[in-house]
Amino acid sequence: MADLSKKQEAIRNFIASELAAGRSCPTHREIAGYFGFASSYAAACHVRALVRKGALIAEGGKARALLLADAFQPVLRAAVVEIPLFGSIPAGFSRDREQEAGECVPVTVESIGFKPTRNTFALRVAGDSMIGKHICDGDIVVFEHGPEPRSGQIVAALIDRKNTLKTFLVKNGKPFLKAENPKYPDLIPSEELVIQGVFRALIRKERE
């Protein structure tokens, strides 16, 4: 069987982690959203390549039906890394946030689908404004500081000196932030909009 590229291995491991957690196989749209692809077509191409290379098995005629090929089971490794957790971020109305240092979130590279860098950080979600993106109160969101966000990506942002978690959009050349819950309004900067990090992964602990 052919070797996998780093991106293909990350996608395969993301699918494996979702199946191992008892969830349905992610759709092309969900894969695209997780990895920040511009469209679901890019995700579909990667999935087709994984099937062609024998890393995944597609069950014909069934939606969301991908199986892991036994020969690729060793791809999953349990290397644990720690991502700094800088307190909480509002998923609701923006507010001032003090950075809390000293706490870390242990994760495996395979569970989040990428290798963290020195610019990777995490924030705990407070609020329900992003439930349309399946981001809930108490979840931990992993971000990468530095990349310029594309329209439609989820970001941690500083808008008029207040922090918030929202979807970054551009309309008529002007950026603004959109909640994924209809009870919250769009946020349009009156002074400044600073992107602190672009969404990379979601960590959800089991709730009692």
Residues with catalytic roles: 129, 166
Q: 110 with 17: CB under 8 angstroms? A: yes
Helix (H, G, I), strand (E, B) or coil at 28: helix
d(CA 166, CA 183): 13
171 three-class SS: strand
Name the token pair of 66. 């991908």
| Half-sphere exposure for 116 (CA within 13 Å, toward CB) | 24
Helix, strand or coil for residue 2? coil
